[in-house]
Amino acid sequence: MLPSLSVKRLVLLQQQIFILLPIVTAVLIDAILLIFMNKVTTVEMALKIAFCTFILFLPFMCSHYLSLRSKGIQALLIWLAGFVAYPAMLMVFDFRVFDNSATVPTLQSLGLAWGASIFHRGSLLMQERSETRTSQWMSTLLSLNSVVALLLVSWATIVAAMFVSTVDPMNNQPIRPIIDSERVTNNLSLFLSYWLQFMCLATSVGYVYWLNRYVLIRNVLGKHGVFGFIIACIFCIIVFTPILTSIALLLPLNEDNLTLIPSENNNPFDPINFQVFFAILAVSTPVILAFERQQQNTAVEVVARQQTLTELKLLQQQINPHFLFNTLNNLYALTLKKSEDAPELLLQLSNLLRYTVYEGQKPSVNLSSEIDYIKNYLALQRIRLAGRCEFNISLPSNCDKWLIPPLLLIVLIENAFKHGIEKSRTDVQLFLSIEIQDNQLVMQCENHVMAESNAQEAGGLGLENLRRRLVLLFANNFELVSKQHNNKWCSSLTLALLPC
């Protein structure tokens, strides 16, 4: 049965909501950062900031959504209008959320909006073009390792800038999450010194991530199970915590009363340091496992897609040779008789083969081309049968706006000739009707069969191959019925058409 319209609408609604999810997430991140920076303590003020942030991001959402629904230069212009022209207009008019607030949108807001939109578009592009060189580069860029590295570098950069923006940062803890760009620019050497030291700390965290993913999870958990994984984690926590904290204590930024290690003292064996190492493993493990599972699912989908394409090719190749073999036999017989129909038969066969070779390998063709192919096939059969069959044909016109997989409809017609008309010893009739109803193709085919023919013989291998192709191409979005009624074989096919 064809899926209901309500289910299709629900799926479409879910897809549209997911399109906006990256920008909505950016709104929430920006709102919570503003709440932190303004030291908000009341629910009313927090809701006010969240509401104002949502209003400011609303043009970003509209631009992101509409650009993804458009193509080419139109999509680019819509994106530029929302993510470039709109912020520029706000800055020109010095728009502010509150009386004493900074000009909005801030660099933080713009960065979140741009990043969410660009990374989302890149992810969609990578899914659409999973086999291109550009998408492979994007896949590497958006891999878990790259994201972790980007987060660690970003953290080191932001914290270093905050330290430069604060006078005597080690003795003015906790420092406020404020970056003074002018102060950072005037103290680049100090910023670089801080950045290198925080990169050392980030590298230590990255090492724990690498150890967890490539040693503990892939090797220990994969080969020795959960118990072996737990034992290995305990071993690593005990051995590597004092080593990494001792390295961190060598950094020049450390002082006697305050250090950069989690315990903030000079003791690498402080229990807090072991707890932080454990926390990193506890947080990274489910993330790594989820990402590894997603990679496995993607690989399985790629293999399944390749197998489906291969099976479709094999099924299509099983359909075509039978017709070609029979037609060549008939052409040979007409040539021996020096029949005047031989040149016309050869021309029709040439047209059919041309369509099979050039159009039959495409994933979809124009419905009008498929109808023309059927007309050529029927014209060839008229010549072959020489009046033994009465043709009652009704085919649609003006069907250029629809697409259909090639060489689907011809199977029912071939089956009618192979198992019914060609075997009949008397004059027979072929009834064929193809109509377009509510974006669906409805095909009816009836032919005479001999009384002694059984249903399995009349159906043939062609119908089995056709049903398998339909399942692979349309899932459950089709209906194929083929059965014998008295001395007639009746076949009907209903499937959804794709618009051009």
What DSSP element (H or E) covers 51? Answer: helix 43-69
What pLDDT score does 451 carry?
A: 58
How far is it, in rounded angstroms, from Cα 51 to Cα 95? 16
What pLDDT score does 69 carry?
A: 82
3-state secondary structure 379-403: HHHHHHHCCCEEEEEECCCCCCCEE
Measured at the alpha carbon of residue 258, what is the angle toward residues 255 and 261, in degrees to the nearest 5?
Answer: 105
What pLDDT score does 104 carry?
A: 52
CATH number for 339-499: choose from 3.40.50.1100, 3.40.50.1860, 3.30.565.10, 3.30.1360.120: 3.30.565.10
pLDDT in tens, 340-398: 777 877 887 888 888 877 887 788 889 999 999 899 888 888 877 777 888 999 999 88
What pLDDT score does 8 carry?
A: 52
The per-residue pLDDT of the chain, averaged, comes to 81
Residue 322: band (very low, low, confident or very high) from pLDDT cuts 50, 70, 90: low
CB neighbour list of residue 398: distance below 8 Å, 6 or more residues apart: none
Residue 180: band (very low, low, confident or very high) from pLDDT cuts 50, 70, 90: confident
What pLDDT score does 357 carry?
A: 77
What pLDDT score does 2 carry?
A: 43
Measured at the alpha carbon of residue 134, what is the angle toward residues 129 and 135, in degrees to the nearest 5?
Answer: 40
What pLDDT score does 9 carry?
A: 61
pLDDT greater at residue 331 or residue 312: 331
Distances in Å between the Cα of 136 and the Cα atoms of 82, 108, 122, 296 are 29, 30, 11, 16
Q: Among candidates 186, 164, 165, 58, which has minimal Cα distance to 113? A: 58
Does the structure show a pLDDT above 60 at 185? Answer: yes
Q: Which of 146-150, 189-193, 269-273 has the lowest mean pLDDT?
A: 146-150
Domains of the chain, residue spans = 1-131, 143-300, 339-499
How far is it, in rounded angstroms, from Cα 54 to Cα 109? 11
pTM of the model: 0.54
Q: Looking at residues 257-267, what average pLDDT do you find?
A: 90
How far is it, in rounded angstroms, from Cα 58 to Cα 305? 38
pLDDT in tens, 48-99: 888 888 888 888 889 888 888 888 888 889 888 888 888 888 777 765 554 4
Helical axes 144-164 vs 271-336, angle rounded to 10°: 140
What pLDDT score does 414 carry?
A: 83
How far is it, in rounded angstroms, from Cα 237 to Cα 220? 15
What pLDDT score does 3 carry?
A: 46
Q: Looking at residues 306-329, what average pLDDT do you find?
A: 64
Q: Which of 164-173, 226-235, 312-321 has the lowest mean pLDDT?
A: 312-321
pLDDT greater at residue 436 or residue 134: 436
What pLDDT score does 459 carry?
A: 53
What pLDDT score does 96 carry?
A: 56
Burial (Cβ within 10 Å: 0-12, 13-18, ≥19) of residue 282: exposed
Q: Which of 181-185, 246-250, 308-312, 463-467 has the lowest mean pLDDT?
A: 308-312
pLDDT in tens, 6-22: 555 665 666 677 778 88
Q: Among candidates 499, 422, 420, which has minimal Cα distance to 463? A: 420
pLDDT greater at residue 286 or residue 118: 286
pLDDT in tens, 433-447: 999 988 889 999 998
What pLDDT score does 295 carry?
A: 80
CB neighbour list of residue 332: distance below 8 Å, 6 or more residues apart: none
Percent share of the chain, pLDDT over 90: 27
Please tell me the total number of residues recorded for the chain in this structure: 500
**Residue 498 bridge partners (DSSP):** 403
pLDDT in tens, 418-428: 777 877 777 78
pLDDT in tens, 268-312: 999 999 999 999 999 999 999 998 888 888 777 777 777 766 666
Burial (Cβ within 10 Å: 0-12, 13-18, ≥19) of residue 350: exposed
How far is it, in rounded angstroms, from Cα 370 to Cα 360? 10
What pLDDT score does 100 carry?
A: 45
Contact 385, 426 (CB under 8 A): no
